Structure 1
Amino acid sequence: MKRIAVDAMGGDHAPQAIVEGVNQALAAFSDIEIQLYGDEAKIKPLLTSMDRVSIIHTEEKIESNDEPVKAIRRKKNASMVLATKAVKTGEADAVLSAGNTGALLAAGVFVVGRLKQIDRPGLLSTLPTMDGKGFDMMDLGANAENTAHHLHQYAILGSFYAQYVRGINRPRVALLNNGTEESKGTPVHKEAYDLLAQDDSIHFIGNVEARELLNGVADVVVTDGFTGNAVLKTIEGTAKSILSQLTSAIKNGGLLAKIGGLLLKPTLKSALGALDYKKAGGAVLLGLKAPVIKAHGSSDAAAVYHTIRQIRTMLEADIVQKSVERFSDEEESRD
């Protein structure tokens, strides 16, 4: 049985969206148990069944504007902190929260703990592509700066995730750069390129530019956290702006525009469905002793359900142990 600790109070629509997503997951998967951390009086009425679910009551929670490290140290009974502690003590196998991103990252590192073979855990998320297959990108903001060695580790972790969680055989790994030529980029990018090119355990295809990301040019893209977060926000913002502009043009364009909009509705729905982030699940903090997953703050029940499905797949694939074995082998070869 896979035991998942869930911060029921984190996110814009908590606890309703969180619990509704949990209800869907429990109905779909008979091999999971859910531990809900939060206000029992608000959580219990939303549950459709108490089978394979427990509530750990606490009225304390971490707010979105709380300073991350101070919050996890001072609010020891916060729902997020208790959920991560459950993973540390072995009461749960993974933790999920849609709450304060910085606080969850801090709790992941300081409470769950990082693998000793990993220098800096990184944040990975599966982003949409036009063909609907998506790609994994790391780091998306866990670290503002990274060394070439960090990027090399991210390539290995990302490749593991793409292979064992998303089922991609020999995933294509690329380095995000300001040009595709081998000589492009900063000294860090050039050093990272050399490290990736020399590693036969990954399928490195070279540098890629940001403009090609949504075209499915690679299965895994590695970059520093500052750049990755900027790219992520740009993709999200651009998609929302285009959708808003398109909707406005149809609504305000007169009768012909409305008729055209109705005729194109099935085609547009299919095209926009390929860019739906909800089905991809949450962002994973890779490099820790257990899976720590951050769902989007605005997640609805469907997004929560898909994130729990993602966690279930990660636990089935035992990706943490595979990472330990891979980096242990690397250390032994150096010795």
Structure 2
Amino acid sequence: MKIAVDAMGGDFAPEAIVEGVMLAAAELPEHVTIVLIGKQSALQPLMQKHNAEAVANIELVNAEDVIEMSEHPTKALSQKPNSSIGVGFKLLKDGQVSAFCSAGNTGAMHVGALFSIKAIEGILRPCIAGFVPQLTGGHAVMLDIGANADCKPEMLAQFGVVGSIYAQYIFGIDQPRVALMNIGSEEQKGSLVAQAAHQLLKENRRINFVGNIEGGDFFDGKADVIITDGFTGNTMFKLGESFYKVASQRGISDEFLDKTNYESVGGSPILGVNGNVIIAHGISSPLAIKNMISLAIRQVESNAYTKIAQALS
């Protein structure tokens, strides 16, 4: 198994990325190799500093260009095919790596996935999934958390199917409980889109739909899969992540709040595409990069994206 990592993506790249790769490499199974993609001139001194060249399970692939955070995704990908993101997707498309991870330009990662490995046939819109820690233990999969700010009811209903399959194979949950994020538990509550989505989810016999949940249920363990549009999902997810920061600033140490720290999982998968693509926060630390790589390995081993493709075929 080869996991490609964009060495140039993120606010603290390439230093934080290389350090994170070194943390991951120390614990990697023997069959896993990390492919680090970026400018050799920038990476070689860091590799030497961390004695990475002596580590057998790290490979270096040169990419001279970098897509900056502020660049337009589609334009940047077409104008910079030799960027670290462009090279990463070429390796993924050609089957030379099993997953591609980056803390770089999120838009470029999303567009790059659609242009290279493409959406699974039957997928209305690929989405980004987040992991919400639950007070009862484990995590709930939340989707969408930012790829689709506006969603039609049919898209939300399909997120229920995609999220259910993902939770089943990533977490080993038989019949994951799927819930729709809404402003009330009653069936008739919410926007016209939410009400229509509720009916579609309710009628879908392929999922274990348990109804609506509210914001106050976010961490309560009432669902294994939380469905919402990308605007609401992104807002709620980032609010949830802020709890750790607030607690730290106030000198509060709490085992559960520690799990809301973005570093604890490290990345979010793009679901609904023909491959394993993980995106991370631009502010990613070495620990976040290490955990992102762990998530990528688990996702490759689960073979979740092919299970999603089979379900929609």
Post-superposition offset of 1:152: 1.4
The answer for the alignment partner of 2:30 in structure 1 is 30
Structure 1: which amino acid aligns with 2:159?
Answer: Y
3-state secondary structure, aligned to 1:214: coil
How many residues in Structure 1 have an aligned counterpart in Structure 2? 307
1:297 is aligned to 2:296:
no
3-state secondary structure, aligned to 2:119: coil
Indicate conservation of the 8 Å contact 2:89/2:113, yes or no. yes
Distance 2:140 2:261 in 1: 13
1:274 is aligned to 2:273:
no
1:286 is aligned to 2:286:
no
Question: In 2 relative to 1, CA 299–232 (structure 1 residues): closer, same or farther, beyond 3 Å?
Answer: same
Distance 1:49 1:231 in 2: 43
Indicate conservation of the 8 Å contact 1:291/1:320, yes or no. yes
Question: In 2 relative to 1, CA 167–281 (structure 1 residues): closer, same or farther, beyond 3 Å?
Answer: farther
1:163 is aligned to 2:177:
no
Distance 1:56 1:209 in 2: 46
Distance 1:272 1:222 in 2: 22
Post-superposition offset of 1:25: 2.4
1:206 to 202, 206, 211: 211
Structure with max Cα Rg: 1
Alignment of 1:201-240 (within 5 A): 201-240=206-245
Distance 1:49 1:279 in 2: 28
Indicate conservation of the 8 Å contact 2:65/2:82, yes or no. yes
The answer for the alignment partner of 2:100 in structure 1 is 95
Structure 1: which amino acid aligns with 2:131?
Answer: T
1:65 is aligned to 2:82:
no
The answer for the alignment partner of 1:312 in structure 2 is 297
Query: Can you list the C-alpha shifts for 1:92-126, whole angstroms capped at 9, x where unaligned?
Result: 12110001111111111122211112110000010
* Structure 1 unmatched runs, 5+: 248-264, 329-335
* Structure 2 unmatched runs, 5+: none
Indicate conservation of the 8 Å contact 1:130/1:275, yes or no. no
> TM-score under structure 2 normalisation?
0.92
1:185 is aligned to 2:185:
no
> TM-score under structure 1 normalisation?
0.86
Question: In 2 relative to 1, CA 271–323 (structure 1 residues): closer, same or farther, beyond 3 Å?
Answer: closer
Distance 1:118 1:143 in 2: 13
The answer for the alignment partner of 1:139 in structure 2 is 144
Distance 1:63 1:308 in 2: 22
Distance 2:243 2:73 in 1: 28
3-state secondary structure, aligned to 1:165: helix
